[in-house]
Amino acid sequence: MTDKTPITKLKRQILDRQGVQPEKRTKRMLTVNEQPDTFHKTPTMKLIEYKYHIKIENEIFIGSLMDVVRRFNYDIDKSTVSKWRKYIKDRRSDGS
């Protein structure tokens, strides 16, 4: 390698030697499910999202507390749904 080797090419060569494939860059917009979380989620929130393939912040506000509990097959109870709604509302209004 010479002094004229571009830095990006040099980085790519080092990563190739170590067996690391960098992520492809794309200008494609992220879907809702691919976007990063806007707040810290509890392990139970993550479990519900994984099990039902949803984003909890979108589904938790649809219907009454019992509707949400039924939708998740009683995996959580009404008080948990109520706490999560309050938690998510607080995080949205804070902007954190």
Q: What gap in Å lies between CA 14 and CA 77, rounded to an integer?
A: 51
* Average pLDDT of span 33-41: 73
pLDDT digit string, tens, across residues 45-76: 889 988 998 888 888 999 999 999 999 999 99
Per-residue pLDDT band for 86 (boundaries 50, 70, 90) equals: very high
- Vertex 67: Cα angle to 63 and 68 (nearest 5): 85
pLDDT value at position 38?
74
Residue 17 included in any domain: no
Residue 34 included in any domain: yes
State the total domains in the chain. Answer: 1
Residue 21 included in any domain: no
Per-residue pLDDT band for 18 (boundaries 50, 70, 90) equals: confident
Structural domain boundaries, residue 63 = 28-94
Residue 39 included in any domain: yes
What is the reported pTM? Answer: 0.59
> Please, where are the H alpha helices in 1-96?
7-18, 43-52, 56-59, 65-71, 78-94
